[in-house]
Amino acid sequence: MDRWMWVTWPAVGVIVGGLVSGWRFSIWWVLIFLCCCLVAWWVSPWSRGRSKTMSDVMALPDGDRRVIVYWRPGCPYCERLRAALGRRGDDAQWVNIWQDSEAADFVASVNGGNETVPTVVIDGEPHTNPDPRVVLEALAP
């Protein structure tokens, strides 16, 4: 999905709401518009707030950046990883590739030119969409 596709979701909600209600205002307009706004927020670059930049993470001591997760909003694989890690995921450094072009370039460089996420760097070695158990093992004290 294009990184700015989130802008069109509310418009889709209005069009679908109009079609469902025969272009008369009804509760369907409101419900469908609100659902589309929710989807728009979920896939927007700001859905989880501002994350760290790649340069911020690289400035940390080596021990604090053993696990770096490159992610983007709206990615179901990123959400799966975040959910599987639970509280342990807070020990990883999360970098949103939509908020940091340097991070997006790095992810593309290790994934054959594609911005495939989640890309997780564990002790300097990149892993594309790894099994959450691998990441949990790396985060273990």
Task: For residues 61-84, give the mean pLDDT.
Answer: 89
Distance CA 132, CA 83 (A): 9
For position 49, what pLDDT does the model report? Answer: 56
Distance of CA 91 to the CA centre of its chain: 17
Of the ranges 6-10, 27-31, 35-39, 61-65, which is most confident? Answer: 61-65
Going by pLDDT thresholds of 50, 70 and 90, the confidence category of residue 1 is: very low
Q: Is the pTM of this model over 0.95?
A: no
Distance CA 77, CA 99 (A): 18
For position 9, what pLDDT does the model report? Answer: 66
For position 6, what pLDDT does the model report? Answer: 57
Tens of pLDDT, residue by residue over 92-124, are 999 999 889 999 999 999 999 999 999 999 999
Contact between 91 and 58 (Cβ < 8 Å): no
